[in-house]
Amino acid sequence: MAKEITKKVSLVELFYDLVFVYMVSRATGLIHHVHHGIIGLPTLGIFALVMIIFINSWMVQMVFTNRYGKSSITNIIFSFIDMAIILYMSNAFTATFDRHLSTFFVAAGLLSLTLCLQYLIVYWQTKTQTDRQITQAFSGILAFRAMTLFVGGIFPNRIGITIALVGVLISWIAPGFTGKYTRKHPIVFSHLLERLTALIIVMFGETIIGIADYFTRESLSPQSIMIFITVAALFFTYIVEFDHLIDEYQTNQTGNLMIYLHYFILFGLSLITVALKFISEPEAHSDFSVGCLYLGLILFYIGLIIANYYNKIKVTKDVIACFVITTLLGLVFSLWKPTFTLIVVTITIVVLINAIVLTCFNIRNSNG
């Protein structure tokens, strides 16, 4: 099927993103505090669950808009309804598996149901067999998720919560197996790339907020500047990959790989954000803080490496080896002597080296 190469991001989409700014702040707030020097597994589990539900809902809405979105009254009304639900969901969870989680499940089920209805409307309206298959597949996935979430919300016991969790995981993975249909009606890749980039900028905004405490009259120091350089270098690395090396005018793409690789980047940035705070807190276990920081960095780089699939010029194994070696050396060195200053200096050097190497690769191949 012929498909347009470009598509303009609408103002309604940008307005829709505003609720995710608040959502990201609330979700990362779950892991901003340590107990006995670490973040407990239940808290990490709830954080991962909340992020997957929110981000997957955003991704499904974005893909729907990419293929079928129009500036119609119906789509605008659905966007506003979803925004209201997301605002409520952002305040309907805590760091423990308690009664609030059942309320969150019900609200998440309603969000899945509204997304399902949007696909069903297209299914009823379209006469194209391909689009009927796509909308049927996605509406089925969303209906399944809504049903399991409602079960978890109405029956907040171990069985109900387990059903909800299984439903979330299956519906998260399931869109990756719709390629046989979506390949016949490919996404507008440039629109997909622009929307995902906007989401990552939101995440970097949360990182900036997270390091803001280092820039007060009492706390400003050389380490503050190095932490800012680390965040800026990470952002620049992302820009080089997704704004310079990547081919944004691709056709016949499902976009599934681009979507899923961004989960690595999103979770990586979340861990980096909290770790940059933990490394200066005496109550946080130093090994845990360092591990959290470098696990986040590794996830971030994994996302970038996978994105190499879409590049105009493939990043060489030498560049990838540099990323691997510097990151592992930084981890070992930081664990060897985990003082605040040494951790900050090491992570700054690691991220700067990798940013410079990728930039030089881009410049060399752009000119060559």
Residue 368 has pLDDT above 60, yes or no: no
> In whole angstroms, what is the distance from residue 202 CA to residue 199 CA?
5
Q: What is the mean pLDDT of residues 334-338?
A: 88
- 117-158 residue pLDDT tens: 999 999 998 888 999 999 999 999 999 999 999 998 898 788
Q: What is the mean pLDDT of residues 173-192?
A: 88
- 52-69 residue pLDDT tens: 988 888 898 888 888 887
Structural contact between residues 25 and 209, judged by C-beta atoms closer than 8 angstroms: yes
Q: Residue 178: helix, strand or coil by DSSP?
A: coil
> In whole angstroms, what is the distance from residue 366 CA to residue 352 CA?
21
At 248 the pLDDT is 86
> In whole angstroms, what is the distance from residue 157 CA to residue 349 CA?
48
- 268-288 residue pLDDT tens: 999 999 999 999 888 888 899
- 4-17 residue pLDDT tens: 556 777 788 888 88
Q: Residue 329: helix, strand or coil by DSSP?
A: helix
Which uninterrupted H or E stretch holds 231?
helix 222-239
Mean pLDDT of the chain: 89
- 197-221 residue pLDDT tens: 999 998 999 899 989 999 998 889 9
> In whole angstroms, what is the distance from residue 118 CA to residue 63 CA?
12
At 95 the pLDDT is 60
- 245-266 residue pLDDT tens: 998 888 888 889 999 999 999 9
At 97 the pLDDT is 58
- 71-90 residue pLDDT tens: 678 888 888 999 999 999 88
